[in-house]
Structure 1
Amino acid sequence: MALVKHTGGCHCGAVRFEVLNSPDLQVFQCNCSICTKKQNHHFIVPKNHFTLLQGSHNLTTYTFNTHVAKHTFCKTCGVQSFYTPRSNPDGYGVAPHCLDPGTVRSITVEKFCGEKWEESMKAHKCIRDMSKLAADTQ
Structure 2
Amino acid sequence: MMDLVKHSGGCHCGAVRFEVWSSPDLHVFHCNCSICTKKQNHHFIVPKSNFTLLQGMDNLTTYSFNTHVAKHTFCRTCGVQSFYTPRSNPDGYGVAPHCLDPGTVRSVEVEKFCGEQWEESMQAHKSIRDMSKAGTELQK
Common topology (TM > 0.5): yes
Q: How far apart are the structure 1 equivalents of 2:119 and 2:48? A: 23
Q: How far apart are the structure 2 equivalents of 1:131 and 1:8? A: 19
Structure 2: which amino acid aligns with 1:137?
Answer: Q
Matching of residues 1-138 of structure 1 within 5 Å: 1-134=2-135, 137=139
Q: How far apart are the structure 2 equivalents of 1:4 and 1:106? A: 13
Matched residues, percent identical? Answer: 83
Assess if the C-alpha contact under 8 Å between 2:3 and 2:139 holds in 1.
Answer: no
**TM-superposed deviation, 1:137:** 3.3
Of structures 1 and 2, the one scoring higher in RCO (CA 8 A, sep 6+) is 2
Q: Please report the TM-score for the alignment, with normalisation by the length of structure 1.
A: 0.98
1:39-65 deviation per Cα after TM superposition (whole angstroms, max 9, x unaligned): 000000000000000000000000000
**Structure 2, unaligned runs of 5 or more:** none
Q: Please report the TM-score for the alignment, with normalisation by the length of structure 2.
A: 0.96
Q: CA RMSD in A?
A: 1.1
Q: How far apart are the structure 1 equivalents of 2:135 and 2:92? A: 13
Assess if the C-alpha contact under 8 Å between 2:88 and 2:129 holds in 1.
Answer: yes
**TM-superposed deviation, 1:133:** 1.5
**TM-superposed deviation, 1:68:** 0.2
Q: How far apart are the structure 1 equivalents of 2:21 and 2:57? A: 19
Q: How far apart are the structure 1 equivalents of 2:139 and 2:70? A: 26
